[in-house]
Amino acid sequence: MISPAPLQTLLRDSRLAPHLRAVAQKVAQGERITEAEGLLLYEEAPLGFLGTLANHVREQKHGDNTYFNRNFHIEPTNVCLYTCTFCSYSRRIKKREDGWEYTIEDMLDIVRKYDGQPVTEVHIVGGVLPQYDVPFYTELFQRIHAHRPDLHIKALTPVEYHYIFKKAKISYEEGMRLMQEAGLQSMPGGGAEIFAPEIRDQIAGGKCSGEEWLRIHEIWHELGGRSNATMLYGHIEEYHHRVDHLEKLRALQDKTGGFQTYIPLKFRNENNELSHLPEVSVIEDLRNYAIGRIYLDNFDHVKAYWPMIGRTTAQLSLAFGVNDIDGTIDDTTRIYSMAGGEKHPAMSTEDLVKMIRSVGRRPIERDTLYGVIKDYTDAEFADDKAYRGYTSLPVV
């Protein structure tokens, strides 16, 4: 198995700096780390140290279990009235001719394509446009649900909800209740970016604020819904902004317990207004996954979204706190291919299983709420030999 040194081995190392040892001891005892300690980890902790701590937390929570699902996306439109500087996806409203704007019927056709296939989740998210309003989305959710009640609808973010509820002059509470009644089951983690206004205003000006994002999740959790949380990192933010973001997520999770999964999203620099910024290194990606895992002691899951981070880094991340790699996707999303991610993101169940097994973890197919559908640890595939055998590869 690819696995960092055990935490007890690290604690016995007399060369370990005292301030890092103090954090490691807290993690060993299952204690929460502070904001100052989070910042210390970002600024000073080496990759191997972080891997040991994060892997300890991961294995305490999940052992080797590593989750994936069978899902597809619908992106209603790539036209957007906002102009986030990191976004490669949105055709500005003035350049509408380059974009698509699906009708409800178009989207139902996409859902119908999966009739008879064992997908369990549709993930719906796209640009923000005036015609996609409360009646539009409630009808969309109702019709998808009526067509296929077993398909979990995970849709839209506070960015869309804030906009459409304001336009409809209804409260967040009323709006989220309407969405739930229409068939919404979960909220994906997008739109969080970086909460700190001094960064958010520069990269995502005009859309919902950090507080509004958090408030809509809180209301959704109070209604019994579950949701995810992301953080867009590696652009103009500084480490203290990342810690502030994690702290706000952890505080809300203490209050509601409604978040399932934390998903760090690495800024990709193709075709957007921040293309002059270099992308951060894989080392930094792994450090960031690990710190998220250590900091968010009250989140069950940490996900590496493979279409964005790439397959190899997703595999490596499984030794740095990550226990979920998202799903089959089936080439149904463009958000990351336009920004520099995989051009046609699609993986079969077999691909995902082998990706997880080849680093010595247990592949578990889950539904959106982490109900176990199937343990693939010992599942047989025709060309299995190619993926077995390279266990026990220490990376640190």
Q: Under the rule (CB under 6 A), what is the footprint of ligand SF4?
A: 80, 82-84, 87, 89-90, 127-128, 159, 204, 207
Q: How far apart are CA 296 and CA 372, in angstroms?
A: 23
Chosen from ligand V47, ligand SF4, none, partner binding at 189 (C-beta under 5 to 8 Å by type)? ligand V47
Pick between residue 254 and residue 270 the one whose CB is nearest to ligand V47: 270
Chosen from ligand SF4, ligand V47, none, partner binding at 265 (C-beta under 5 to 8 Å by type)? ligand V47
Chosen from ligand V47, ligand SF4, none, partner binding at 207 (C-beta under 5 to 8 Å by type)? ligand SF4
CA distances to 63, 86, 136, 162, 187 from 194, in Å: 31, 12, 29, 17, 18
* 193 annotated ligand-binding residue: yes
* 139 annotated ligand-binding residue: no
Residue 137 Cβ vs ligand SF4, minimum distance, rounded to whole Å: 16
CB count, 10 Å around CB of 362? 17
* Sole residue written with tokens 């999740």: 217
Chosen from ligand V47, ligand SF4, none, partner binding at 160 (C-beta under 5 to 8 Å by type)? none
Pick between residue 83 and residue 180 the one whose CB is nearest to ligand SF4: 83
CB count, 10 Å around CB of 206? 11
Pick between residue 24 and residue 84 the one whose CB is nearest to ligand SF4: 84
Structure tokens at 102: 């699906």
Chosen from ligand V47, ligand SF4, none, partner binding at 232 (C-beta under 5 to 8 Å by type)? ligand V47
Q: How far apart are CA 183 and CA 16, in angstroms?
A: 52
Residue 245 Cβ vs ligand SF4, minimum distance, rounded to whole Å: 16
Residue ranges binding ligand V47 (CB under 6 A) = 86-88, 188-191, 193, 228, 230, 232, 263, 265, 267-268, 272, 305, 326, 335, 339
Residue 207 Cβ vs ligand SF4, minimum distance, rounded to whole Å: 5
Q: How far apart are CA 269 and CA 339, in angstroms?
A: 6
* 80 annotated ligand-binding residue: yes
Residue 158 Cβ vs ligand SF4, minimum distance, rounded to whole Å: 11
Q: What is the CA radius of gyration of the chain?
A: 21
Closest CA to 144 of 121, 167, 165: 121
Cβ-proximal residues to 342 (8 Å cutoff; 6+ apart), any chain: 306, 307, 310, 311, 336
Residue 195 Cβ vs ligand SF4, minimum distance, rounded to whole Å: 15
Task: Annotate 322-336 with b (16+ C-beta within 10 A) or e (fewer).
Answer: bbbbbbbbbbbbbbb
Annotated binding residues for [4Fe-4S] cluster, written as ranges, equal 80, 84, 87
